[in-house]
A and B are shown apart, each in its own frame.
Chain A
């Protein structure tokens, strides 16, 4: 998107590594719950903030892997 800073989080690491978005977070959650478990707002906020924090960096930004299952 020209002139607009973008960031994404995805559970699908294969797609992120293949499509190479300017700022991407791979989250080890499951399909259908990209931002975390239902009714776990702390986890959802953590994933969301990790993703949005990347907007403060010039792209390209190295893909971030966030293992929320640890």
Chain B
């Protein structure tokens, strides 16, 4: 996605420039504030608010004019924000495909540029909704950018406070456990070529790094969704760059134009580079139940003769020669009935090399089907000798050298690693190899429990 990378670089620069500028301006404000001690109740038209917006606008748009834009962009916020940590905000855009994107500013949040939204060719840029945090009484600005480079702005004054320093949820452990789950709700009927809307929900705590632990005097490290990319049948719908001003469990409503039945693919990346990918069928599959979190059934992919050497994530075959494909409920029944060796071959999260040395690296606990062995690397297309030896050894130990002992291999949905590792186990001579292609996501979606392993439990 070329669109994404070029914009990301620019966006990052803009953000940091904004930060520096705001640090400077807030220091100035502190000096002035002796005459106006209660800045929190300054009205919508207070000069300090206008000055802050002017500074912000200049930091992001430079000398470009932001025209009064109510003919192009309108904003809807609740008359009174009921929950400062979760304020619904809606934008209505008039201008169709001439609209390239939208900038959202929550002026008085510590990180005021709350999000940037870029519409792709498959978008219907008429509606955008999101949920935001409001730290104190503030103006909220939305600026639409047209494809010919014009800017149109609108704003609202919001009375709410505490949304950043008082997170809505206190169940942090639970939030981390479920991180990366997604739901998509299609709003309206599917009709080819007709614009429709979708509500995308992403389970993520969006820790904003602003809560100080009073005992350690340390801030809970920030961890938040940084980008979200949505495409339909491979065509870009929406690219979002966001940060800590988005609420816990970010939820975005957007419009798109499905020319035919297909799939909406969502990829979210958080500030630790953790990547969450989900694919949703459009129209939604007939049986709803828990299926909204399942990956779409894959189109038929032929089994390769040998190990798969292509991209790890993508459509996988429906079969595995010499083995049995198993689904969640059958697997649960199998595990209940008799002992089987269950092997998770998903990758462990490695500390990114570019991470600053002082940055906290703390991958979330790794959820597995209870009792699983975690053997990262066993599903590589080309396996290194050390890992191969380890994989053979651990299978031999766990099965007590019984080639008729059931072996179940899985990783994630739409992931070739488990297919490769299961095939490998068959080649080692195991006669009852089960491949569970729905992965840990499918296991959970079916309502079964997991246990967690830490990275230390994974062989390096």
Partners in one complex: no
On A, residues with C-beta under 8 Å from B are none
